[in-house]
Amino acid sequence: MNKYGAEFLGTLWLVLGGCGSAVLAATFPGVGIGLHGVSLAFGLTVVTMAYAIGHISGCHLNPAVSIGLWAGGRFPANQLVPYIVAQVLGAIAAGAVLYTIASGAVGFDAAKGFASNGYGAHSPGGYTFMAALVCEVVMTAFFLFVIMGATHGRAPAGFAPLAIGLCLTLIHLVSIPVTNTSVNPARSTGVAVFAGGWAVEQLWLFWVAPILGGVAGAIAYRFVTSEDPSPAPIVGKN
């Protein structure tokens, strides 16, 4: 149960830190952190939690990562469902905490978005469904490719959290205008259930696309490396 507890708390931190920065700080008058700050916040949540719980659970924090690592031969199938349940529950708990904080401001309305992911009229840049689909699949594929490489047995020891966190930061810098960046079904679910309406209606895409991308990225990495020790922990020893 310690692994599942770590995934719950780690995903809670990711959603609270990343989505919290978007909801509370991105457009704060005078000192808003904007797209760059939100991107960095998501990356920092992964870096900090990878060092904190990487040796406990591997610090997946993301159903697409867990499924991708399974597809890449790095994760046992019998732990997939418990990991995903823990991640989604952690994300929803984070959404509840963020909703409680954000609703303390006059004029707050979760239906306006609440850092939810969307396409078409609900894309920050008005991008189409097809653009959102391609973006989420490709970005998640490269995320898994980096995760597989950074945690390879021959990779420099101790640097995986930095590589993975910086990769997530870069992904957000590119894709926030397109979908508000998911690459993580739990992250999308954690805020969509509070935004309701269109956010829930479009949520399916932000499960399907990241999972497809995660599997593709993991398989692509196994294709380009001839030797891949399994399992390979993020930090320390699992």
Residue 87 CB contacts under 8 Å (≥ 6 apart), including other chains: 7, 8, 11, 60, 61, 62, 63, 66, 186
Whole-model pTM: value is 0.93
For the chain, domains (ranges, CATH) are 2-224 (1.20.1080.10)
pLDDT digits (tens, 9 = 90+) for 210-233: 999 999 999 999 888 867 655 455
Residue with tokens 């995660």: 214
Contact of 171 with 142, CB cutoff 8 Å: yes
pLDDT of residue 83: 97
**CA separation for the pair 119, 201 (Å, rounded):** 11
The arithmetic mean of pLDDT across residues 106-123, rounded, is 93
Report the pLDDT averaged over residues 130-141.
Answer: 98
pLDDT given for residue 230 in this prediction: 53
